[in-house]
Structure 1
Protein backbone atom coordinates (compact mmCIF):
# COMPACT_ATOMS: atom_id res chain seq x y z
CA UNK A 1 0.00 0.00 0.00
CA UNK A 2 1.37 3.42 -0.95
CA UNK A 3 2.12 5.88 1.84
CA UNK A 4 1.52 9.60 1.54
CA UNK A 5 4.71 11.62 1.97
CA UNK A 6 4.32 15.30 2.85
CA UNK A 7 6.52 18.39 2.84
CA UNK A 8 4.05 20.42 4.91
CA UNK A 9 6.36 20.65 7.94
CA UNK A 10 9.27 21.78 5.77
CA UNK A 11 7.18 24.48 4.07
CA UNK A 12 5.62 25.59 7.36
CA UNK A 13 8.98 25.92 9.11
CA UNK A 14 10.51 27.74 6.14
CA UNK A 15 7.62 30.21 6.35
CA UNK A 16 8.29 30.72 10.08
CA UNK A 17 4.77 29.54 10.84
CA UNK A 18 3.55 27.63 13.89
CA UNK A 19 1.31 24.60 13.53
CA UNK A 20 -1.49 26.54 15.20
CA UNK A 21 -1.13 29.39 12.71
CA UNK A 22 -1.37 27.06 9.71
CA UNK A 23 -4.33 25.29 11.31
CA UNK A 24 -6.17 28.57 11.82
CA UNK A 25 -5.37 29.71 8.29
CA UNK A 26 -6.92 26.63 6.69
CA UNK A 27 -9.69 26.09 9.23
CA UNK A 28 -8.65 22.91 11.07
CA UNK A 29 -7.42 22.04 14.56
CA UNK A 30 -3.71 22.14 15.37
CA UNK A 31 -3.82 18.41 16.10
CA UNK A 32 -4.80 17.81 12.48
CA UNK A 33 -1.60 19.52 11.34
CA UNK A 34 0.43 17.48 13.87
CA UNK A 35 -1.02 14.21 12.54
CA UNK A 36 -0.60 15.33 8.93
CA UNK A 37 3.07 16.21 9.44
CA UNK A 38 3.69 12.90 11.21
CA UNK A 39 2.14 10.86 8.40
CA UNK A 40 -0.85 9.70 10.43
CA UNK A 41 -3.48 11.66 8.51
CA UNK A 42 -4.35 11.82 4.83
CA UNK A 43 -5.88 15.19 3.99
CA UNK A 44 -8.91 15.70 1.82
CA UNK A 45 -8.30 17.19 -1.60
CA UNK A 46 -9.73 20.50 -0.41
CA UNK A 47 -7.41 20.60 2.60
CA UNK A 48 -4.43 19.76 0.41
CA UNK A 49 -5.35 22.55 -1.96
CA UNK A 50 -5.87 25.00 0.93
CA UNK A 51 -2.43 24.18 2.32
CA UNK A 52 -0.82 24.51 -1.11
CA UNK A 53 -2.52 27.88 -1.59
CA UNK A 54 -1.26 29.06 1.81
CA UNK A 55 2.32 28.33 0.72
CA UNK A 56 1.87 29.52 -2.89
CA UNK A 57 2.76 26.11 -4.29
CA UNK A 58 1.04 23.06 -5.77
CA UNK A 59 -0.52 20.01 -4.16
CA UNK A 60 1.93 17.88 -6.15
CA UNK A 61 4.86 19.76 -4.60
CA UNK A 62 3.57 19.22 -1.05
CA UNK A 63 2.35 15.64 -1.31
CA UNK A 64 3.44 12.47 -3.06
CA UNK A 65 2.80 8.76 -2.69
CA UNK A 66 5.71 6.45 -2.10
CA UNK A 67 5.54 2.68 -2.50
Structure 2
Protein backbone atom coordinates (compact mmCIF):
# COMPACT_ATOMS: atom_id res chain seq x y z
CA UNK A 1 0.00 0.00 0.00
CA UNK A 2 1.25 3.46 -0.83
CA UNK A 3 2.28 5.42 2.29
CA UNK A 4 0.67 8.58 0.93
CA UNK A 5 -2.72 6.86 0.69
CA UNK A 6 -2.45 5.54 4.25
CA UNK A 7 -1.46 8.98 5.49
CA UNK A 8 -4.45 10.62 3.82
CA UNK A 9 -6.81 8.00 5.28
CA UNK A 10 -5.40 8.46 8.80
CA UNK A 11 -5.72 12.24 8.56
CA UNK A 12 -9.28 11.94 7.29
CA UNK A 13 -10.15 9.56 10.13
CA UNK A 14 -8.67 11.98 12.69
CA UNK A 15 -10.91 14.72 11.34
CA UNK A 16 -13.97 12.45 11.46
CA UNK A 17 -13.22 11.44 15.06
CA UNK A 18 -12.84 15.09 16.09
CA UNK A 19 -16.09 15.97 14.34
CA UNK A 20 -17.91 13.07 15.98
CA UNK A 21 -16.68 14.18 19.40
CA UNK A 22 -18.11 17.64 18.85
CA UNK A 23 -21.42 16.17 17.69
CA UNK A 24 -21.63 13.95 20.76
CA UNK A 25 -20.98 16.94 23.00
CA UNK A 26 -23.83 18.82 21.34
CA UNK A 27 -26.17 15.83 21.55
CA UNK A 28 -25.39 15.29 25.20
CA UNK A 29 -26.29 18.88 25.97
CA UNK A 30 -29.39 19.01 23.78
CA UNK A 31 -30.94 15.59 24.27
CA UNK A 32 -29.32 14.32 27.45
CA UNK A 33 -29.74 10.84 25.98
CA UNK A 34 -27.09 9.02 27.99
CA UNK A 35 -27.52 5.63 26.31
CA UNK A 36 -27.03 7.07 22.82
CA UNK A 37 -24.07 9.17 23.91
CA UNK A 38 -22.48 6.12 25.54
CA UNK A 39 -22.81 4.04 22.37
CA UNK A 40 -21.37 6.85 20.25
CA UNK A 41 -18.46 7.36 22.65
CA UNK A 42 -17.63 3.65 22.46
CA UNK A 43 -17.62 3.92 18.67
CA UNK A 44 -15.20 6.84 18.88
CA UNK A 45 -12.91 4.88 21.20
CA UNK A 46 -12.89 2.04 18.68
CA UNK A 47 -12.05 4.51 15.91
CA UNK A 48 -9.21 5.91 18.00
CA UNK A 49 -7.80 2.40 18.47
CA UNK A 50 -8.08 1.77 14.74
CA UNK A 51 -6.26 5.04 14.06
CA UNK A 52 -3.48 4.04 16.42
CA UNK A 53 -3.16 0.70 14.65
CA UNK A 54 -3.02 2.41 11.25
CA UNK A 55 -0.36 4.82 12.48
CA UNK A 56 1.70 1.91 13.84
CA UNK A 57 1.49 0.12 10.51
CA UNK A 58 2.48 3.29 8.71
CA UNK A 59 5.49 3.81 11.02
CA UNK A 60 6.61 0.20 10.81
CA UNK A 61 6.28 -0.15 7.06
CA UNK A 62 6.75 3.46 5.98
Question: What TM-score do the two structures reach when normalised by structure 1?
Answer: 0.30
- Could you say which structure has the higher strand fraction? 1
TM-score (norm 2): 0.31
Higher helix share: 2
